[in-house]
Structure 1
Amino acid sequence: MAAISAAQVKELRETTGAGMMDCKQALNQTDGDMEAAVDWLRKKGLAAAAKKAGRVAAEGLVGVAVKGTTGAVVEVNAETDFVARNPDFQTFVSTVAEVALGVEGDVEALKAAAYPGGGTVAEELTNLIARIGENMTLRRFARLSTSQGLIGSYVHAATAPGLGKIGVLVALETSGDVGKIEELGRQISMHVAAANPQWASTDEVDTTALDRERAVLSEQARASGKPENIVEKMVEGRLRKYYEEVVLVEQVWVLDPDQKVKAVLAEAGKTAGAPVSVPGYVRMALGEGVEKAEQDFAAEVAATLNR
């Protein structure tokens, strides 16, 4: 049997889109013959994903999983929203979210993680692509944990438990009675889904973004012709408004417009018997940042018929 190099496995994987172990087996079965290995994979149905790899995948599902004081959220994309209702696809996204609870690192680390039942997450995704017949990608994931307190979660536009269009995790940190703030964890997660803050607190605001905002507000204020000391006060006032738009604790509480989130947290601290804070959160919306291909309905039908 011919010795199979890592370079050969890599080349076959890039050509076919099949999993690494499948490519290695194909090369072993064909004594390293690349073309024969491609045919071997095609016969096994493992190279089907290659035909679909160039198609835009901007639909799909966001999956959320929480266990104890750790939560994970993943985004798995597909070409059409029909796939989001496919039981096999839903099972895959839910399972990957559970796997992500124990994975540290980037999305490549999650792809390389063991998938329940055998193989890796990446290999199971390749198998799923072959079965369903659409291009799919495990685009990103994030974990959130707290040393004391809880992880609240919320899924917007849910198609199944823990699966939907927007997934949110919120860490509530407290040494008080966690049982008394469980509902607050869900409520703040809903708030984050709706209000889409950029930072948890004013201390976290990116200095570059703040300097840019300050410069714009300063120019706007000076255009009014007011003295410089008045301009400074105008800028500070407008910066407070900016914080109310982008900082979680400074935002108006979606459940009560007369309160800010920081007031809600202060009240929760009294209920829990110890201060409650939000050290971090994750908000992941399906398809954000993915450039979708524009296509008219007739062209979409024609493309479907030609597949």
Structure 2
Amino acid sequence: MAITIQQIKELRSATAAGMGACKEALTATNGDMAEAVKYLREKGLAVAAKRVDKESKQGIIALAVAPDKKSMALAEVNCETDFVAKTEAFIKFVDEAAQTALAGKDIATTLEDDYKMLLTKTGENVKIRRSERYVLEGTGVLSGYIHMGGKIGVMVELATPCEKCAASPELAEAAHMICLQIAANAPKYINPEDVPQAEIDAELEIKLNALKEQKGKLPPEQALVGIKKGMAAKYCTQICLMKQDYVADGDLTVEKYLAGVSKNLGGAPITVKRFVRMQLGA
């Protein structure tokens, strides 16, 4: 019988085995899920199959950076205990996972044998949770940062039309500071215009319901226009990177900080093109 990608995903979710191993097991057992689990256990993945009921909330996020700094990748691998997360074998595997992601390869497939060995060695339900790879697009700079010993990982890309500026240590430092900002304040978007209107409406509904609960009733509709506008603006300052207070200088926003960097580099515009923030288990 033909094995579907959905069957493979279900078996992988149940056992934490690699995609290739799951396809092999399902093919060998004619798609029988229970027999496929048994097959994987017999092939050396017994630990994962036995411990699928255990939650994997610990682990590490690792960063890999290309020598030319024009590409980088984050990888998160989870385990059950902080003890295992600190072992040499686990740390090595997560580093290899990040390097594999940097090379643009699938972690589960490429490191399948190493993964099996790690399961046997640790005796825990280890999960390759996610990865992200950035390759510099156009003129600019990439920066990455690992916070709290692998609990938080960040990558950011700053863009500028000025090639000289892109190669400057000042822009590299600015990108690093933006990484620190993202790690500390966890923005969801770059600019207010990036926030979906549905998300703003949902937040306003919560705020207005709270206001009604507090006051007993809502202000007149004419007054609500200004109130809603203020609530929306405040919400955006919390979740939008450029509107957040700059962590290294509370008198500035991130937007004003980058404007200052731009001025020091001769006025070439600097924009945050994209960013990603991973938090362990979140």
Tell me whether the two structures share a fold, i.e. TM-score over 0.5. yes
Contact 1:174 1:277 in 2 (8 A): yes
* Alpha-carbon displacement from aligned partner over 1:242-265 (angstroms, at most 9, x marks no partner): 111111100001111111000011
Matched residue of 1:211: which SS? helix
- Which residue of structure 1 lines up, in the alignment, with residue 280 of structure 2? 286
- 1:186 maps to a residue whose letter is H
**Counterpart position of 1:173:** 159
Summarize the alignment of residues 106-185 of structure 1 with structure 2, pairs less than 5 Å apart. 109-112=106-109, 120-147=110-137, 148-158=139-149, 164-176=150-162, 177-178=165-166, 179=168, 180-185=170-175
Given the alignment, which residue of 250, 254, 269 partners 2:247?
Answer: 254
Partner of 2:31: none
The structure having more radius of gyration, on CA atoms, is 1
CA pair 77-39 structure 1, distance change in 2 beyond 3 A = closer
Instruction: Give the Cα–Cα distance (whole angstroms) in 2 for the partners of residues 66 and 40 of structure 1.
Output: 34
Give the TM-score taking structure 1 as reference length.
0.72
> 1:294 matched to which residue of 2?
none
8 A Cα contact 1:69 1:149, kept in partner: no
1:39-50 alignment runs, 5 A limit: 42=42, 45=44, 47-50=46-49
* Partners of 2:113 and 2:177 in 1: CA distance: 37
Question: Which residue is 2:179 aligned to?
Answer: 189
Question: Which residue of structure 1 aligns with residue 79 of structure 2?
Answer: 78
Alpha-carbon distance between aligned partners in 2 of 1:236 and 1:22, rounded to the nearest angstrom: 52
Over residues 168-214 of structure 1, what are the superposed CA-to-partner deviations in whole Å (9 max), with x where a residue is unaligned? 11111112312221111111111111111111111210221012223
Quote the residue 1:99 is aligned against: 100
Q: CA deviation at 1:48?
A: 3.8
Cα distance in structure 2, aligned partners of 1:40 and 1:77: 20
Unaligned 5+ runs, structure 1: 29-33, 113-119, 159-163, 289-307
Structure 1 residue 241 displacement after superposition: 1.2
Note if 1:55 corresponds to 2:75: no
Q: State the TM-score, normalized to the length of structure 2.
A: 0.78
Contact 2:47 2:125 in 1 (8 A): no
Taking the aligned partners of 1:229 and 1:50, their CA distance within structure 2 comes to 61
Equivalent residue for 2:225? 232
Moved more, 67-76 or 84-93: 67-76
CA–CA separation in structure 2 for the residues paired with 1:238 and 1:23: 51
Number of residue pairs aligned between Structure 1 and Structure 2: 256
Aligned mates of 1:16, 1:101 — CA distance in 2: 26
Task: Note if contact 2:40-2:49 (Cα within 8 Å) is conserved in structure 1.
Answer: no
Root mean square deviation of aligned Cα: 3.3
**5+ long unaligned stretches in structure 2:** 29-33
Q: Give the structure 2 partner of residue 298 of structure 1.
A: none
CA distance in 2 between partners of 1:49 and 1:214 (Å):
44
Output the CA distance in 2 between the equivalents of 1:257 and 1:227: 35
Aligned counterparts of 2:256 and 2:85: Cα–Cα separation in 1: 38
Q: Check the 8 A contact 1:250/1:262 in 2, yes or no.
A: yes
